[in-house]
Chain A
Amino acid sequence: MTAAVTAMQQGLQSCEACGLLSRPARGEEEGRCPRCDEELNFRKPASLQRTWAYLVAAAICYVPANLLPVLTTTTAAGSDSDTILQGVVLLWSPTGWPLSLIVLVASIMIPSAKILAMGYLLITVQRGSAQSNEQRIRLYRVVRFIGRWSMVDVFVDTFTAALVQLQPLMSVEPAAGLFFFAAVVVLTMLAVEAFDPRLIWDSAREVRYA
Chain B
Amino acid sequence: MHTHVHNEPLSDKSLIACLHCDLLQRLPKLPPGASARCIRCDKELWRRRDDSLDRTLALSLAAAVLYVIANSVPMLGLSAVGRQAFTTVFGGAQHLWTNGRQMVSGLVLLTAVVAPGLQIGFMLAIVLAARRSQPARWVGILLRYHPTTCTWSMIEVMLLGVLVALVKIADYATVIPGVALFVLGVLVFLLAGIQASFDPREVWDRVEWAETRGRLSGTVDEIAEATP
A-B interaction: yes
Taking a contact as CB atoms under 8 Å apart, the answer to whether B165 and A159 are in contact is yes
* B65 contacts A by Cβ under 8 Å: no
Residue-by-residue, is A177-210 near B (CB-CB < 8 Å gives 1, otherwise 0)? 0110011001001000100011011100000000
Given A164-B78, A193-B151, A201-B40, residue A137 in contact with residue B99 (CB < 8 A): no
Given A19-B19, A186-B107, residue A159 in contact with residue B87 (CB < 8 A): yes
Taking a contact as CB atoms under 8 Å apart, the answer to whether A5 and B158 are in contact is no
Q: How many A-B residue pairs have CB under 8 A?
A: 251
Residues of A within 8 A of B41 (CB): 133-134, 137, 201
Residues of A within 8 A of B168 (CB): 90-91, 156, 160
Taking a contact as CB atoms under 8 Å apart, the answer to whether A179 and B6 are in contact is no
Residues of B within 8 A of A40 (CB): 7
* A163 contacts B by Cβ under 8 Å: yes
* B197 contacts A by Cβ under 8 Å: no
A34-B23 Cα distance, complex, nearest whole Å: 21
Taking a contact as CB atoms under 8 Å apart, the answer to whether B101 and A178 are in contact is yes
Residue-by-residue, is A157-172 near B (CB-CB < 8 Å gives 1, otherwise 0)? 1111111111001100
Taking a contact as CB atoms under 8 Å apart, the answer to whether B223 and A174 are in contact is no
A139 to chain B, nearest CB (A): 12
Taking a contact as CB atoms under 8 Å apart, the answer to whether B154 and A35 are in contact is no
* B132 contacts A by Cβ under 8 Å: no
Taking a contact as CB atoms under 8 Å apart, the answer to whether A22 and B224 are in contact is no
Taking a contact as CB atoms under 8 Å apart, the answer to whether A12 and B10 are in contact is yes
**Number of interface residues, chain B, beta carbon within 8 A:** 77
User: A-side interface residues toward B, CB under 8 Å?
Assistant: 1-2, 4-8, 10, 12-14, 16-25, 28, 30-40, 90-91, 96, 99, 102-103, 106, 133-134, 137, 140-141, 148-149, 151-166, 169-170, 173-174, 178-179, 182-183, 186, 189, 193, 197-198, 200-202
A-B contact pairs, 28 of them (CB 8 A): A2-B222, A6-B17, A18-B140, A19-B16, A21-B17, A23-B7, A28-B5, A36-B143, A36-B144, A37-B6, A37-B141, A39-B2, A106-B160, A148-B157, A151-B161, A154-B161, A155-B165, A159-B76, A159-B87, A159-B165, A160-B165, A163-B76, A163-B85, A163-B165, A163-B175, A173-B99, A182-B104, A201-B41
User: B-side interface residues toward A, CB under 8 Å?
Assistant: 2-10, 15-17, 19-24, 40-43, 75-78, 80-81, 83, 85, 87, 91-96, 99, 101, 103-104, 107-108, 111-112, 140-141, 143-144, 151, 154, 157-158, 160-165, 167-169, 172-173, 175, 200-201, 204, 207, 209-211, 217, 220, 222-224
